[in-house]
Structures are given as structure tokens and as C-alpha cells.
Amino acid sequence: MNAYSRRSREIAPFHVMSLLARANALEQAGFDVIHLEIGEPDFTTAAPIVCAGQAALAAGHTRYTAARGLPALRQAIAGFYRDRYRLDIDPERILVTPGGSGALLLASSLLVDPGKHWLLADPGYPCNRHFLRLVEGAAQLVPVGPDSGYQLTPAAVAAYWNADSVGALLASPANPTGTTLARAELAALSQAVRARGGHLVVDEIYHGLTYGLDAPSVLEVDDGAFVLNSFSKYFGMTGWRLGWLVAPPAAVPELEKLAQNLYISAPSMAQHAALACFEPQTIAILEQRRGQFRQRRDYLLPALRELGFRIDVEPQGAFYLYCDVGAFTDDAQAFCAHFLETEHVAFTPGLDFGNHRANQHVRIAYTQDVARLREAVARIARGLESWASRPR
């Protein structure tokens, strides 16, 4: 191992992937596993998008595109901001990337020098801090809880900002908590970061998957922010690997240079397929699916609370419940393993999402239909009994 780079050794594994591998092995052995561990919708890509992708392949659209992406797709994304947020975003500010991860790679490469860091909420999506390590920067994890909706606050920025801080990364809706930031909260955080000469980067990957509200974009209050988004979640194109980054105009030439060197361009077939995402018939399908996600949340949230899972903040978006299981255990990893092995229900230990009370939390994804979730709840109830009576 010492022959490999220190950065590689210091990037922690994504623990849910080993749990997924075990779940898949159980399935191959003939067990019925209910997957509530991976942040991937159970819906396949909507038919109009698939048809557009097939047409692109048939037409021979299999070559590199420009590093910033197809002009037509960047225009379509700008139109999406106009229609959904009433924002006039110049398509020249938009870079199409290989997934939201590609957008994060560009932003972190541009904004973070070795030894510098961004402030991140703990808990939060694990790959964010690992990308910072990859560019020889770091994440300053800020412990957050239900009192702030598991989000950073201006007071937290003031308390944790230091000479090595160069920015803050927010997520709204957030993974793993599903909480959102209101427009006033985004404005206050922008002011707090800007006042310290930092960059504000906002993960809006779960926009569109909100329930009872529409999450505001940070660009409504800070036109100079960097915005990460993706075609994976709301648009249901996880395996197509496509996302985008909205950046201030002055940053675009540097970002384009990085894109040219890091990945040349996003997948061309996926870009052509994504043009169909913004068609009315596609949006109608996606909105119907959003309604199904809300039904799932509205079933699973009270059902888990009744079993003793503590969920202090109702998630307004994404498709996760971040559950405090401290009443049952201080070893969430063993807790998850127990339910996988005995009841064949897979969910994710809090260890994947940070350090703050991670061993007392699990993330449960409502990425199965309600009938399947009912079965999962019945199994979890049975598993709690065997957990309580297990040998110590």
C-alpha cells in the first residue's frame, strides 16, 4: 500500500458499496433483498429520453462534443432556468459534465489550492470531501443537527472559518437528510461567505424532487455562486453520467481548460438524449414520479417513527430519511449488517456521511414502491426484535 499515493490512501471507501455488494450476493443466493441503501431511483429512464438516445446512436452521434457540451443542450438548460426559476442564465456560463461528480471535480480543481478547504455540513454526501482531498485540499466538516435542519448557518460559517478557508459547499435538498434551504437562508449564507472573501458552491442535484415546495436556486440571490446539478435524480438518467455546472462568466475559460484536460467532453449520446428531458411530455412523466416519491415519504416517515426511529426533521426533498437509531445502538454499521443478514433489508450506516454522531444514524432511501416499503417496514419491525434479543 505504501507504493500508492497518500491521497489515495486517505480517501475513505464508500461503505455503502460494500454493503451493496453483500446485498447483491444474497440476491444471487436466492434471497429477496429490499434495496433501500443506494441513492438511485427505481424508475428506469423516461421513454422520451431513451428514444432520443436511440435516435442519436442511429444518427451516428458518437463522437466527441465541445468540452463545454453541446450548444443545443446548454441552451436547453438555460431555458430550464428561465422556465422554472425565472432566471436569465447565459448558456455560455453552463458547462455540461460527466455527472454531477464531473461538475464537482471542475469546481474543486478551480477553487481549491493545496492545504485550503471548504466548509461542509456534517452529515453530508461523502464524495464531496473526497474530491477536495483529491485536489490536495480538505473539507472542514461542521457538525450540524436538527436545530439547523442539518444545514450550515451564518453563525457556523463565522465559527469555523479560518485563514485556510476559501469557500463553503451547501446542498439543498441535501443528501442524506433531504432538507432544503429557503431563499433568505441562501442569501444570508452567501453574505457570510462573501464577507470573508470566499466562494459559494451549491449542490442543487436534487432540485425537482421536493414535496410541497419548490427549492429556490442560489442563483436567485447570488449570481456569482457556482451551482452543481445533474440529470441523474429528477431526470432519472443515473447511468447516462451527465450533469452540469453554472459558473460566473470570468471562471468559464479556466473551467473549459480543465474540462478539456480532465475528460475531453461529457458522453455525446447522453447529451443528445438529455435534449428530450425538457420536453413537456417528459416533464409530465417526471412530475408524476415526483408525486410517487412524496407518497413513499408520507408512508415511510410515520411508519419508521412508530417503530422508534427518531427523525426530527421532515425531509422536504430528495428521497432519503436520515434516522437517529441511538435508542437501539451506538454501532450503526453492525445495526445495518444485522438487518441485511437477518431480514434482507439494506440501508446505509451514518459512517458514510461524516463523523458527527455517525454511529447513531442510518440513511434509508425510499426508492421502492409503497407496497415494497410496507414489506420492508414489517421486516424491520421483526428485525428490531431479534436485534434486542441478540447475544451480547
pLDDT, tens digit, 9 for 90 and up, residues 196-232: 999 999 999 999 999 999 999 999 999 999 999 999 9
Average pLDDT of the residues in 144-160: 98
pLDDT confidence of residue 30: 97
For 41, phi then psi, to 5°, come to: -60, 150
Cell numbers that stand for 365 in this block: 432511501
What is the percentage of the chain residues whose pLDDT exceeds 70? Answer: 100
pLDDT confidence of residue 27: 96
Q: Does residue 2 surpass a pLDDT of 80? A: no
pLDDT confidence of residue 131: 95
Q: 229 forms bridges with which residues in the sheet? A: 244
Do 256 and 67 contact (CB within 8 A), yes or no? yes
Q: Does residue 6 surpass a pLDDT of 70? A: yes
Q: How confident is the model at residue 38 (pLDDT cuts 50, 70, 90)?
A: confident
CA gap 144, 121 in Å, rounded: 6
Q: What is the pTM of this model?
A: 0.95
Q: How confident is the model at residue 39 (pLDDT cuts 50, 70, 90)?
A: confident
Q: Does residue 22 surpass a pLDDT of 70? A: yes
Angle between helical axes of 47-58 and 280-307 (0-180°, round to 10): 130
Average pLDDT of the residues in 304-310: 98
CA gap 218, 376 in Å, rounded: 36
Average pLDDT of the residues in 73-78: 98
Cell numbers that stand for 240 in this block: 447516462
What is the percentage of the chain residues whose pLDDT exceeds 90? Answer: 94
Q: Does residue 320 surpass a pLDDT of 90? A: yes
pLDDT confidence of residue 13: 81
pLDDT confidence of residue 3: 86
Average pLDDT of the residues in 6-13: 88
Do 268 and 63 contact (CB within 8 A), yes or no? yes
User: Which residues of the chain does CATH 3.90.1150.10 include?
Assistant: 6-44+282-387
Q: Does residue 14 surpass a pLDDT of 90? A: no
Average pLDDT of the residues in 136-164: 98
Q: Is CATH 2.40.37.10 the classification given to domain 47-278?
A: no
CATH top class, domain 6-44+282-387? alpha beta
pLDDT, tens digit, 9 for 90 and up, residues 356-367: 999 999 999 999
Q: Does residue 1 surpass a pLDDT of 80? A: no
CA gap 313, 295 in Å, rounded: 17
User: Which residues of the chain does CATH 3.40.640.10 include?
Assistant: 47-278
CA gap 308, 180 in Å, rounded: 24
pLDDT, tens digit, 9 for 90 and up, residues 78-103: 999 999 999 999 999 999 999 999 99
